[in-house]
Chains A and B, each alone.
Chain A
Amino acid sequence: MTGNEIGEGARAHRQGQRRFLIGSWIIVILIAAIAVALRLMSHGKGPGSLPPAGALAAAAAFVIVIALGVWWSFRVVDEVERRYSLIACTVGFFAQITMLAAWTVLWLGGLAIAPSALAIFVASGLSSVAAYAVVRLRG
């Protein structure tokens, strides 16, 4: 095989990458579609602003799309990528429980406002992304 030829291995590799890219886009589009649908369905803020049937359908769609997406992505990625993802998820999980505990005791001590679930969720997500970037860059 010369340098310019594409072997069966490289073909398989590119095919796998294409499949992964297409699958990833499908998941992103589905989640975006659910988010847009939720936004369109909501008429106000707070409990009762969504019709019960719509809320049930949206909750079920979130659970199914996210669970299937995670299951699928862990099946198609290789062991190195799986390791990076597991490290990132672990860092995110510990960041979440650490922030929740620290923020709660600060609130109990009168030093901070009440813990915000959304802020903790966003911060733990960002911790996961940062951890993923670090392990990916380090190799």
Chain B
Amino acid sequence: MNNRLRVLRAERGWSQEELGGRAGVSRQAINAVETGKYDPSLPLAFRLARLFGCPIEEIFDDGE
């Protein structure tokens, strides 16, 4: 699944550690999501969407 996490994070000037702390996951987890190695659970996807103030579809794209 593609995502715009890195771009959104950069726009806010957040490090992976900063975003991880806000989302309640580790820096490694954010890195795994950003690089497409891990698809987040629905609760985590919602938390990320809330943090960036946008719908989930604006962050994640399943290519359909």
A contacts, CB < 8 Å to B: 1-3, 7-14, 16-17, 77-81, 83, 138-139
Contacts and interface: CB of A to CB of B under 8 A. Distances in A.
A13 B18 contact: yes
Given A9-B20, A80-B38, A3 B13 contact: yes
Contact of A83 (B18, B20, B24, B38): B38
Contact of B21 (A2, A7, A81, A138): A7
Given A78-B25, A79-B29, A80-B25, A13 B17 contact: yes
A92 to B, nearest CB: 21
Interface of B: 13-15, 17-29, 31-33, 35, 37-38, 40-41, 44
Contact of B28 (A1, A2, A12, A80): A80
A24 B22 CA distance: 23
Contact of A79 (B17, B22, B44): B44
A2 B33 CA distance: 24
A46 B49 CA distance: 59
A71 B38 CA distance: 23
A127 to B, nearest CB: 22
A80 B32 contact: yes
A57 to B, nearest CB: 37
Nearest to B25: A78
B19 A78 contact: no
Nearest to A79: B41
Residue of A7, A16, A80 most packed against chain B (CB within 10 A): A80
Contacts of A78: 24-26, 29
B22 A9 contact: yes
